Structure 1
Amino acid sequence: MTAQAQHATRPTKRQLIIETAERLFAEHGYDATSTARIATEAGVPSGLVFYHFATKLDLLLAVVQERPSPSEVLRSAARARTVRGRLRSMVASMVEELENDRAARVIVFREAPGRPEIASRAAELFAGATETVADVLSGAEDLVADEARVQTAAELVVSRVFLDTVALAQDEPAVKRHAAMIELIAESLTSGVRVRS
């Protein structure tokens, strides 16, 4: 690899600060992590943290907001033709994405209740993922459910996968844990049988 190629793959100082803050906020919490510690562990001068981020809260917001949208990952599930196939594909994609980005999700889960800015971003991510899941399910060839049931199913899938991946520590493979949910939702969306409330 050339020196130029190595430089191109090396994170910028700003990215390095965000990555370090993300790791420390996830491990120790926002309030217990000082900007001095972030700078030290990132190997940058303390002043550089404040050069890129006016406040520690701005740094936290950058950690949470500069995340890729789950929509593109979920849309790849549209290649499956059936509701069941699309659900399996989307659940597997969401689990993989959440597990790869676990630190940011832990931060959102922990910090959202006391920080409106983080709660707002979490709501945006949830709404975007739910909208995409509903959209992908709507295109399945065996779907017979109405729009309201598809929307409810999408909310259930996103909620369950997010909670399971972020908040629950379990040894069983995640996709296997979701198999019963996938079957229940697929049956509900393809059979035309209405579930009593």
Structure 2
Amino acid sequence: MTAHAVARHSKREVIIETAERLFAERGYDGTSTARIAHEAGVPSGLVFYHFATKLDLLLAIVHERPTPSQVIRSATQGRTVRRRLRAVVAVMAEELERDRAARIIIFREAQARPEIAARGAELFAEATTTVADVLSGADDIVVDREQVQTAAELVVSRVFLDIVALGQAATAAKRHAPMIDLVAESLTTPRPRTEGSSF
């Protein structure tokens, strides 16, 4: 890669990072491309050199992230459901906090923009499927895949709510402990069979 190409790439990244921060703070509609360019320290024309429209810039922010599967699969250590759940919740909380601005943007802008809503749905589906895959590999799992998938949806929703919507990263581990215990118990305790109705 030439020095010129590196410089172009770094300016593009600066624009994305600046827009991400401003969109999270002020909202998409409350942020002009002129403001983005000013705070990024680049000419306004450079924003449109890299992104044809402001919406293209927004889409770059929500698409150019590490995928949930890349992050969550690192939590496969441990042989039990409880250990895997603890690891999953820890890595998800850490990643969501680090990438909180982008997640706030998705959460907020999904209501008005179908493209963002679709991306949010993709990320949620990928996260829940990956969590279910991780939990399904535990030695002590006793339930079927459908129940594991439901548990994964609960875990992902709760962690997202706490970190992104409520901003409670600092107390995440403590707040999630009862959920981890409840989910682990439900996935590892055989349920008694019911043999027909008594009626």
Q: Could you tell me which residue of structure 1 aligns to residue 58 of structure 2?
A: 60
Q: Could you tell me which residue of structure 1 aligns to residue 112 of structure 2?
A: 114
State the shift of 1:171 in Å: 7.4
Question: Which amino acid in the other structure matches residue 153 of structure 1?
Answer: A
The structure-2 alpha-carbon separation of the partners of 1:187 and 1:9, relative to structure 1 and needing over 3 Å to count, comes to farther
Q: Would the aligned equivalents of 2:110 and 2:117 in 1 still touch at CA under 8 Å?
A: yes
Distance 2:14 2:52 in 1: 16
> 122-131 or 67-76, which moves further after superposition?
67-76
SS at match of 2:191: coil
Q: Could you tell me which residue of structure 2 aligns to residue 86 of structure 1?
A: 84
| 1:154-165 correspondence to structure 2 within 5 Å | 154-165=152-163
State the shift of 1:100 in Å: 0.3
Deviation by residue 1:60-90 (Cα, 9 ceiling, x = unmatched): 0001110110212211221210000000000
SS at match of 1:114: coil
Give TM-score, length-normalised by structure 1.
0.91
Larger Rg: 2
Distance 1:187 1:114 in 2: 39
Question: Which amino acid in the other structure matches residue 144 of structure 2?
Answer: D
State the shift of 1:193 in Å: 2.8
| 1:17-36 correspondence to structure 2 within 5 Å | 17-36=15-34
Deviation by residue 1:126-155 (Cα, 9 ceiling, x = unmatched): 011111000010000000011111010011
Poorly superposed stretches of 4+, deviation over 4 Å: 8-11
Give yes or no for the alignment of 1:72 onto 2:66.
no
Deviation by residue 1:76-114 (Cα, 9 ceiling, x = unmatched): 221210000000000000000000001001101110011
> 9-18 or 101-110, which moves further after superposition?
9-18
Calculate percent identity across the aligned residue pairs.
73
The structure-2 alpha-carbon separation of the partners of 1:171 and 1:17, relative to structure 1 and needing over 3 Å to count, comes to closer
Distance 2:29 2:89 in 1: 33
SS at match of 2:76: helix
Give TM-score, length-normalised by structure 2.
0.90
Distance 1:130 1:162 in 2: 11
State the shift of 1:46 in Å: 0.2
Instruction: Identify which of 129, 132, 152 aligns with 2:130.
Output: 132
State the shift of 1:23 in Å: 0.3
Q: Could you tell me which residue of structure 2 aligns to residue 153 of structure 1?
A: 151
Q: Could you tell me which residue of structure 1 aligns to residue 180 of structure 2?
A: 182
The structure-2 alpha-carbon separation of the partners of 1:183 and 1:72, relative to structure 1 and needing over 3 Å to count, comes to same
Q: Would the aligned equivalents of 2:162 and 2:169 in 1 still touch at CA under 8 Å?
A: no
SS at match of 2:29: coil
